[in-house]
Amino acid sequence: MTSPRVLVVDDEPQIVRGLKIILRSAGYTVEAAQNKAEAMAALASRPPDALVLDLVLPDGAGVDVCREVRSWSRLPIVVLSAVGAEREKVRALDAGADDYVTKPFGTDELLARLRAVLRRSAEAGGSPRVELGELTIDVADRRVTRGGVEVHLTPIEFEIVRVLAQNEGRLVTHRQLLQSVWGPEYGRETHYLRVHVAHIRAKLEEDASRPHYLMTEPGVGYRLRDPEG
Q: At what angle do helices 190-204 and 174-181 cross, to 10 degrees?
A: 80
Distance of CA 148 to the CA centre of its chain: 27
In the predicted model, is pLDDT for residue 9 greater than 70? Answer: yes
Domains parsed from the chain with CATH numbers:
5-123 (3.40.50.2300), 129-224 (1.10.10.10)
Is the model more confident about 86 or about 99? Answer: 99
Confidence of residue 5 (pLDDT cuts 50, 70, 90): very high
Summarize pLDDT for 158-191 with one digit per residue, the tens.
Answer: 999 988 988 888 888 898 888 888 877 777 888 8
In the predicted model, is pLDDT for residue 124 greater than 90? Answer: no
As a whole number, mean pLDDT of residues 78-83 equals 82
Other CB atoms within 10 A of residue 155 CB = 8
How distant, in Å, are the alpha carbons of 23, 66, 185 from that of 161? 32, 26, 20
Q: Are the CB atoms for 221 and 128 separated by under 8 Å? A: no
Bridge-partner residues for 100, per DSSP? 79
Task: Judge if pTM exceeds 0.75.
Answer: no
